[in-house]
Amino acid sequence: MNLLDGKVAVITGAGTGLGRSYARLLARQGAAVVVNDYAQAAAEATVEEISNAGGRAAAAVADVGSVGSGEAILQASLDAFGRVDILVNNAGILRDKSLLKMTEEDWDAVLRVHLKGTFCVTQPIFRHMKERGGGVIVNTTSTAGLRGKFGQTNYGAAKAGIWGFSNSLAQEGLKHGIRVWTIAPAAASQLTDGVVSEEYKQVFTADRVAPVLLYMVSDLSGAQTGKTLLAGGGYVSEIRMEIGPGFVPGEQFTVTDLVAAIDAGKVLMPERALSYVNAYGPTTAKA
């Protein structure tokens, strides 16, 4: 028996890259997959590949950056398969430039697809899942948003926003049986061409991330919700926010007291080592 027999999954940005890898794996595990992409040819190619392998899939061609598009994607799933059990918000774009070279269009385009797009697709499907009594949602963040990355203030802001969105959504989903995960994937794709090294491309493939996504959306992960997993190059780890030991001042609190507490190691935490993902070299975004 497959892990996702009888389930219906909607995956945004599934015409290429990570989304395509997710769609193929979930289909192999028995899910009917709604392949969303803004490019019709890419969406149909993924659908054809799944169908030729004996799976079930349907295309939903739409730009995720409007609520109307989110509703259209939901309707495409209802028309094809009658419901949605799994939503994977994966669609994304890059406009890598340092802050001083970034245009307003560069900022708006990235925030629209990543952050607004996650809201626009999630809202109607979350409502549908609530009415059906449950489901699983996986949103996509990035170490660029959680740690920062040169040349990606727009992308980092969007991905940090998605992390906050997901943490709050997980709490809202508790009483409705809707589990919410966040994944921080590291994988080379068409989006990262010219941005990552050749060594990175060899190690960080989409197919080495997809099994983590499968774990999240399947019953293997039980009732877990509100968690974030970093996945890339065969490395998997939970990401959590850390809070230092802290300092409680007396009634007469001065900056001198704060400096003394910092010097004593009570406020600022020591620097952490670079993540495994960053070990394969920096991006090549120009200053």
Residues designated catalytic: 155
> How many other CB atoms are found less than 10 A from the CB of residue 97?
18
Element (H, E) at 132: helix 117-132
Q: Counting Cβ atoms within 10 Å, is residue 155 exposed (0-12), middle (13-18) or buried (19+)?
A: buried
Closest CA to 121 of 205, 166, 183, 65: 65
Q: How far apart are the first and last CA of the chain?
A: 52
Q: Which phi and psi (to 5°) does residue 273 adopt?
A: -65, 155
Contact 36, 12 (CB under 8 A): yes
Distance CA 230, CA 138 (A): 13
Tokens 């919410």 sit at which residue?
Answer: 180
Q: Counting Cβ atoms within 10 Å, is residue 281 exposed (0-12), middle (13-18) or buried (19+)?
A: exposed
